[in-house]
Amino acid sequence: MTPNRSMRVGLLALCATFGSCDADRRPDGTATRTSDSTGVLTARGPDADVELSWPMEVVWELPPELGLFRIYPHHVAPFSEGRLAILDDPGRRVVVVDLGGSDVLVHGRPGGGPGELEAPTAIAAREDTLFVMDVGRGGLLTWVGGEEVAIDRLGGFWGPDVRRGATGTMYVRRPGGARRQELVLRDGATTRTLGGLEGPRESPGGTEKCGLGRFPVPALFALDLTWDVRGRTVASIETPEYRVRVGSVDGRLDRVLTRPAVTPTASRALVAAEMSGESITLPLINGNCTLSVEDVIEWRGFAEVVPPIRRVTVMPSGEIWITRRGDLVRTHRVDVWSASGIYVGTLVVSGGVPIAGLPTGEVVVLGRDDLTGPVLRVLEVDRGASAPPHLTDVQPGGLEPGRGRAEPPRVVSARDPTDTRVPIAVRPLGDSEFRDCEGCPVMVRLPGGAFDMGAPAGEAPARDDPTRPDWTERAEQPVRSVEIAPFAIGKYEVTFDEWSGCYDAGVCAHDPHDEGFGRGDQPLFNVSRPDALEFVAWLSEVTGESYRLPSEAEWEYAARGGTTAGRWWGDGAPDGRAACDGCGSAWDNRSPAPAGSFPPNPFALHDMLSNVSEWVADCWHEDHADASRDGAPRVETSPWWSDGVCARPVRRGGAWSFLLWTTRAAHRAYWADGPWLPRRGRDQRSWTVGFRVARDLSRDAS
């Protein structure tokens, strides 16, 4: 590598490392929410913090023997199956650690060729694929199974962060050497600009250390384009105020989060204290060169007025966590905003800054100890019974195919205010329909019959869809002939109104949060399978009939409605017949649709293929090889059944934020807690999963 190129690589590594209507506040300083004519919501938090008492417990901590002495937020990426990937840029390697054990995998080695890392600055991960931004090699490296398989050139990369998802690669660039920063999403040959700002302010400082000399460089703690993305939700900060823009990867702005905030004033002593214990190592032609804190301050200078927000994090649940600066010296007050733009409260997080959320609800926190170096921990957060649920539809190992809360609603309720449909409770019943009590679910009598359960190998093949894991295709096979006896099943998914009868009776103990989507005829979600079993037991008691969850076979028989294609209307796209990511409805990636919003299938059942995914009676089996011929549920034969508890309960059907390939009658998946989360099994609640009920029929009724 030539001296000039060595210097350029070193500088790129250093820079990458550091790198509507207004809502009037009420006189009492409380929060307000308003929307403009385009539907953009402006949410203003209160003047004073509302402190959240959420106890946090450390469930994992970075082992010191790994020798990782410098870690920044863009050096950490949640990996699949309960693992974290961590970039060790001085060592030019990526270390993948198991949060539930001692396994450690190492990717890369120093060098400039394939499989080697020259000047790595950031990493990202998607399922089992690792992405490493290497400014030395000039692109984003893709690693699969420990091997480098591709390199993608990112023009104008400014850093420090980079993300890779189903929609493309997101990063900050400085086009054509301009001072302007642009947040862009690149998908193949197409690049979309999602935001930007002028700057950051540059300092003319210099240092003779490492031969850096004097030339303009970004000042420390100057305003930088701060951003995060999860699924299709993008949050960014582009002004020096507390003003966070939240939108989607298609460039649409959905809401703006604001709060009055004190802007810290920096001094040399405060900046040195903030960076205490840190040093910067640059890879140069004649070896590594290390800059001390004082060296960096001398060379970079610092902004006297510091932006009030340190970091914004989009959690898997859709929440936005905004970490504020206090006195600049490692105080971490974190404002929590719900996915629908409601200020929930403020957390005081000790030991570090929240940098990522895990799909199972834990929070990754990065701090620093002056003696031991970086402190990387995973915290379990106990939000209490009244807090919004925090589990997501993206589970460990890719078990849930949704992309997370992609495009949150612009208003508190997703229901159209002009909707005048007749409520479910007073709709007339069809010839095959009945209701066993006032407030009970509407049931539909289904005739018995034979059908082929499962999907043939050519239905939505995983090889044609990079978003579909191979195991989900195997799970739907082999096709098996099943004979179903007559039974009754809910015409709609159980609604919030119907659940309230059980809750008000004191039988159902859980009061599920509606996430701002509204209650009434909204399909119930944020309930576990044990919650569903409480409900069917209560129904059986109050009606004297035998209510239960349907088996997998009964569910698929009902979902097919006597048809044989992948969907009851054929193999084509839904074209507005369901809500999912790509279904073509007004609710796609926004919220569940009110029960019965879509046309019924030939059995007169609504929303079977996708709205919320639905619990069934079975415990997970990896395929249909030993499925019963009479449609009975498979429970105790499951390898995940032990001592009366199913560790992997089955759910069927897609959901409003799941990918299109899940919107099929054959789709099946499960809920996995994972051995690294020993206490998570008592929850199993998600805003994408509900249920519908089944009922045995007497011989006369059938």
Q: Which of 79-93, 193-207, 472-486, 674-688 has the highest mean pLDDT?
A: 472-486
Q: Which of 114-118, 265-269, 529-533 has the lowest mean pLDDT?
A: 265-269
- Give the pLDDT score at 187: 86
* Dihedral of alpha carbons 70, 100, 97, 651, sign: negative
In tens, the pLDDT along 91-103 reads 889 999 988 877 7
Mean pLDDT of 383-399: 34
Give strand pairing partners of 211: none
Does residue 142 surpass a pLDDT of 90? Answer: yes
Q: Find the mean pLDDT for residues 206-226.
A: 66
Window from 33-37, 608-612, 670-674 with minimum mean pLDDT? 33-37
**What would you measure as the largest C-alpha separation in the chain, in angstroms?**
94
Q: What is the pLDDT at residue 228?
A: 93
Give the CB-side neighbour count of residue 266, counting CA atoms within 13 A: 22
| Mean pLDDT on 348-356 | 84
| Alpha carbon 175 to chain centroid, angstroms | 30
- Is residue 674 within 8 Å of residue 523, measured between CB atoms? no
* Distance from C-alpha of 553 to C-alpha of 558, rounded to nearest angstrom: 9
- Comparing 39 with 153, the larger pLDDT belongs to 153
Residue 275: pLDDT over 60: yes
Q: At what angle do helices 496-504 and 529-543 cross, to 10 degrees?
A: 70
Return phi, psi of residue 620, to 5°. -60, 130
- Residues 6 or more apart whose CB falls under 8 angstroms from that of 654 comprise 578, 580, 609, 610, 613, 662, 663, 664, 667
Distance between CA 631 and CA 486 in Å, rounded? 11
How many CB atoms neighbour CB 11 within 10 A?
Answer: 17
Tell me which H or E stretch contains 530.
helix 529-543
Calpha distance 684→702 (Å, rounded): 35
Strand order in the sheet with 129-134: 120-126, 129-134, 139-144, 147-152
Which has more pLDDT, 630 or 208?
630
Spatial separation of the C-alpha atoms in residues 537 and 201, rounded to whole Å: 64
| Mean confidence (pLDDT) of the chain | 79
User: Residue 555 pLDDT more than 90?
Assistant: yes
Q: Which residues, in sequence order, are CB contacts of 595 under 8 Å at separation 6+?
A: 424, 492, 493, 495, 521, 522, 523, 606, 607, 611
- The band of 487, judged by pLDDT with boundaries at 50, 70 and 90, is very high
Task: Tell me which of 407 and 338 has the higher pLDDT.
Answer: 338
Burial class (CB in 10 A: 0-12, 13-18, 19+), 575: exposed
Query: By the 8 A CB rule, do 664 and 588 touch?
Result: no
CA distance 204 to 285: 25
Residue 677 is encoded by which pair of tokens? 């989360």
Local confidence band at 266 (pLDDT 50, 70, 90 cut-offs): confident
Most confident among 50-59, 65-74, 343-352 (mean pLDDT): 50-59
Q: For the residues 412-417, what does the mean pLDDT come to?
A: 31
Write down the number of H helices and E strands in the chain.
Answer: 7, 47
Could you read off the pLDDT of 557-592 as tens digits, one per residue?
999 999 999 999 998 889 889 999 889 898 988 889
